[in-house]
Amino acid sequence: MNLEQIMDMLKTQERLAKNITHWAVIPEKPGEYEAFPEYLSPKLISALKKKGIHRLYSHQRRALDEVMANNDITVVTPTASGKSLCYNLPVLNAILADKNARAIYLFPTKALSQDQVSELMDIVDEMEEDIKTFTYDGDTPVNARVAIRKDGHIVVTNPDMLHTGILPHHTKWMKLFTNLKYIVIDEIHIYRGIFGSHTANLLRRLHRICKFYGSNPIFICCSATIANPRELSEKITQKPMVLIDQNGAPAGEKNIIFYNPPVVNRQLGIRRSSLLEAKTIALGFLKNRVQTITFARSRLAVEVMLTYLQEEMKNLHGGRNSIRGYRGGYLPKERRAIEKGLREGKILGVVSTNALELGIDIGNLDVSIITGYPGSVASTWQQAGRAGRRSSVSASILVASSSPLDQFIINHPEYFFEASPEHGLINPDNLYILVSHIKCAAFELPFSDGEIFGGENIDEILAFLEGERILRHVGGRWHWMAESFPAEEISLRSASMENFVITDITEGAKVIGEVDRSSAPMLIHEEAIYIHAGQQYQVEKLDYEEKKAYVRKVDVDYYTDANFAVEIKVLDVFRQKADNNQQNYMGEVMVTSLATMFKKIKFFTHENLGFGPIHLPPEEMHTTAYWLSIPENTGDLSRDEIESGLLGLCNVMVNIAPLYLMCDPRDVRGVVQIKSPFTQKPTIYIYDNFPGGVGFSEKLYDMEDQLLKAARQVIMECDCEDGCPSCVGPYEEVGHGSKTFALKIIKGVLSD
């Protein structure tokens, strides 16, 4: 069967059709075209025509015109709309006119960098011009680096390499910085939260170095659809931006299908696993040779889904290897081979985290299946956009989990289709992040008294660093005096540089992957089943001090999942207000988390087969939080009833907060205290899951009662009798009656 026939079957097969809550058809869209501008080099026009490009999309022409007028721009158009020409054309045109001109391309990942270089080189080769384009990242051979610094016209890199490998050694890059005309930042919507806050400071450092060498480059930013692309770009680059958001590219018909797994226990409100339902739907396409990408929310979910699909496909054409996994933790060579296999059609299906959400060229997939709402409207559109890159029919199917957020989206399609995507939030002045980059900037160039960094006078911070014997103040300037190399101590993507290396000791010792520090207690504690590319390994030993895990191949019928216990302590209050019958706060907290135990979960049936303890030290984090306290007599409830109601209410609030914050649901967490040591009252805390916080808590504090009203709507609309995973949470966790008690608490707090 072809794609259209399989979609007809989805509509008619009762087992699946009755679970479809919404089916939207986005019609085919014709392209809007404009001629090449007169100022574009004839050589460049000739190369484009050889590649079959005889005119530009309207947004590409406008981008060219704005850049030629020396304006910094942000281009916001969908996946596969030709955004790369919006920056490749002005850059190549400038280099053809002046062979000294230079450009830096910043991509959020190494994979995306390498992918874009091949497209750029195709145009350069067609022109037969000596325009040297190089990828400069951790995989670049040492002997090639000197040539890149000396001769590279276009240096394609990522923020991490700019941070550790280029800016601290700017004296070796003098030719680049002296002649720097353009800085391209692709996928700018990725630069939110902690990564965006770091990147904004990284660009503050880049501005200092450009100014030192006398250059003032134009920024060309590209983004997926978010609510505030211009604001986010301006905050990251510190430059006023011209927004280009009218898409001129053609698009084939796209089917967006919302699917809610069937309820298997009406009383408890338990639905069939979204993983198992997504597997069933994916197999319908894969067995008919329709190339499909399946997205899953976590590394563990990717490996479980991959195990299921490979088992089902092992006796069909292509066998197990026709389905591959793709996620962080795989080694680079492994990921490149998977990307190539998808482009060439040798791989029929891939199961991925959001690692393939970005614009890496993986060919023309026909179907994307999204297992669980990705956490934001923008991410959902990105994942849906990985299917249908040709002018043909495509399908994207969102399979909801039981979480309140998923259930809200799946039952309110109008929210998804009518609401504007979320805001990208960053907080570059987070003190943890700011001080780290001031250290790096001082290492690169001395600060002068009164110098502004990010719009603020930083003399107080410089004086603090002098007291720490890191800087020395001489003749009105602050000089680096410490022996350490500051950039190597700072990770742009997390609070910690430390990754745990995973070594397979089944036969000898072979490194198979790595895990970031925050995920280590969940994924590689001793006795954990670690799954890599569908192969199961048992963790024999975790050396926490040396950050090494030793694993051995096994073949078992279960996987493991860890539980966490969290404690929270208030350190400082930044803002507070009384509102109706509640007290609202926003401030600094210390969060202590401890992995306590793990469960063994059987494949396919998801039964709990047992559990075991985890013996690891607790992790501490200073961050910001929003918290609200209520009177102990709210709703005339007993202490136990208040506890049950608060636990349920906290679950709902934390789950739906990402609707109002452009963040992954894992970026905020919640804790309940029945009698808080700080407020002396029943209290719900929602905190930023990043050291220092990135602004989520402040946004929640400013929402007034909006979050409580949204929580009430979710709870009241749920069909369950007594609370379930789709509203307040499983009754084993929140207790019987949690749904009723949560509604009474909301009624007692709100006066509407």
Q: What residue has token string 């309820």?
A: 263
Q: Is residue 745 part of a domain?
A: yes
pLDDT reported for residue 390: 57
C-alpha triplet 335, 341, 342: angle, nearest 5°: 95
Mean pLDDT of 510-537: 89
Instruction: Please indicate whether residue 133 or residue 719 has the higher confidence score (pLDDT).
Output: 133
Calpha distance 337→174 (Å, rounded): 36
Q: Looking at the predicted structure, is the pLDDT value of residue 268 above 70?
A: no
Instruction: Give the per-residue pLDDT at 421.
Output: 66
Half-sphere exposure of 146 (CA within 13 A, CB side): 2
Mean pLDDT, residues 395-399 taken together = 96
**Residue 40 sits in which domain range?**
33-244
Instruction: Looking at the structure, tell me whether residues 173 and 316 fall in a common domain.
Output: no
Tokens of 683: 């209290």
In the block, tokens 């309940």 appear at: 672
Look-up of token digits 């006398």: 214
Handedness of CA 66, 71, 76, 80 (dihedral sign): positive
pLDDT at residue number 419 = 66
**DSSP code for 194:** H
Let me know if residue 609 belongs to a domain. no
Residue 508: how many CB atoms within 10 A of its CB? Answer: 7
Looking at the structure, do residues 137 and 230 belong to the same domain, yes or no? Answer: yes
Give the pairing type, strands 254-259 and 263-265. unpaired
- How far apart are the C-alpha atoms of 694 and 428, rounded to whole Å? 8
What mean pLDDT is predicted for residues 560-581? 90
Measured CA to CA, the distance from residue 586 to residue 631 in angstroms comes to 18
Q: Which residues contact 423 (CB under 8 A, 6 or more apart)?
A: 226, 227, 228, 231, 232, 661, 662
Closest CA to 355 of 304, 296, 309: 296
CATH (domain of 74): 3.40.50.300
The C-alpha atoms of residue 689 and residue 668 are separated, in whole angstroms, by: 5
pLDDT (average), residues 607-634: 90
Mean pLDDT of 194-211: 94
Q: How many CA atoms lie within 13 A of 526 on its CB side?
A: 9
**Phi, psi (deg, nearest 5) at residue 62:** -65, -40
Where do runs of H (alpha helix) occur along 75-182? 83-97, 110-127, 142-151, 159-161, 174-178
Cα–Cα–Cα angle for 81, 85, 90, rounded to 5 degrees: 150
719 and 692 co-located in one domain: yes
| Residue 147 CB neighbours (<10 A) | 11
In tens, the pLDDT along 460-472 reads 999 999 999 999 9
Indicate whether 612 belongs to any domain: no
Residue 424 within any structural domain of the chain: no
* Residues 324/270, Cβ–Cβ less than 8 Å: no
Which range (32-46, 121-135, 257-271) has the least confidence? 257-271
pLDDT reading at 729 higher than 90: no
Least confident of 77-81, 84-88, 219-223, 277-281: 77-81
- C-beta atoms surrounding 261 within 10 Å: 22
Q: What is the pLDDT of residues 676-716, one digit of tens each?
A: 999 999 999 999 988 778 788 998 999 878 899 999 999 99
Q: Are residues 318 and 351 in the same domain?
A: yes
Question: How many domains, in total, are found in the chain?
Answer: 5
Shared-domain flag, residues 504 and 639: no
| Length of the chain in terms of residues written | 752
- Number of other residues whose CB lies within 10 A of the CB of residue 419: 12
Q: For the chain, give percent helix, strand, coil, nearest 5.
A: 40, 25, 35
Q: Flag the least confident range among 92-101, 470-479, 614-623.
A: 614-623
User: Helix, strand, or coil here: 236?
Assistant: helix
Q: Hey, how many other C-beta atoms are within 10 angstroms of the C-beta on 544?
A: 17
Amino acid at 302: V
pLDDT at 621 over 80: yes
Q: Where are the alpha helices (DSSP H) in 263-418?
A: 274-286, 299-313, 332-343, 377-384, 404-411, 413-418
Domain stop point among 361, 386, 418: 418
The verdict on residue 607 lying in a domain is: no
Answer with the one of 224, 244, 264 that is the final residue of a domain. Answer: 244
Residue 423, domain member (yes or no): no
Q: Is 347 in contact with 341 (CB distance < 8 Å)?
A: yes
Q: 694 and 586 in one domain?
A: yes
Q: Is residue 569 within 8 Å of 594, Cβ to Cβ?
A: no
Assigned token pair, 399: 């399979």
Strand-pair category, 668-673 with 683-688: antiparallel
Strand order in the sheet with 20-26: 20-26, 254-259, 394-399, 367-371, 292-295, 349-352, 323-326
The span from the CA of 435 to the CA of 461, in Å, is: 7
pTM of the model: 0.79
What mean pLDDT is predicted for residues 734-738?
Answer: 88
Burial of 337 (0-12, 13-18, 19+ CB in 10 A): middle
Tell me the residue ranges of DSSP E strands in 11-90. Answer: 20-26, 33-34, 56-57, 73-76
218 phi and psi, to 5 degrees? -85, 140
Nearest to 222 by CA among 77, 437, 95: 77
81 and 227 share a domain?
A: yes
In a shared domain, residues 144 and 199: yes
Residue type, 631: P
Domain boundary among 188, 217, 244: 244
| Calpha distance 661→698 (Å, rounded) | 11
Owner of token pair 């750029």? 120
**CA 160 – CA 180 distance, rounded (Å):** 19
Q: What pLDDT does residue 293 have?
A: 95
- Shared domain check, 46 and 9: no
Which value, to the nearest 10 degrees, does the dihedral of the CA atoms of residues 336, 339, 345, 351 take? 120
Is the domain of 192 the same as that of 62? yes
235 plus 302 within the same structural domain: no
Count CB atoms within 10 A of the CB of residue 117: 18
Alpha-carbon distances, residue 115 vs 74, 84, 90, 111, 213 (angstroms): 21, 11, 19, 6, 31
Going by pLDDT thresholds of 50, 70 and 90, the confidence category of residue 443 is: very high
**Does some domain include residue 532?**
yes
With respect to residue 363, please indicate whether it lies within any of the assigned structural domains: yes
Angle among Cα 30, 35, 36 to the nearest 5 degrees reads 130
Q: What is the pLDDT of residue 271?
A: 86
The DSSP call for residue 473 is: E
pLDDT tens figures, 295-308: 998 888 999 999 99
The strand ranges marked E within 665-713 are: 668-673, 683-688
Residues 43 and 101 in one domain: yes
CA atoms lying within 13 Å on the CB side of residue 112: 19
Q: Taking a C-beta distance cutoff of 8 angstroms, is the pair 395, 7 a contact?
A: yes
Q: Are strands 73-76 and 218-223 parallel, antiparallel or unpaired?
A: parallel
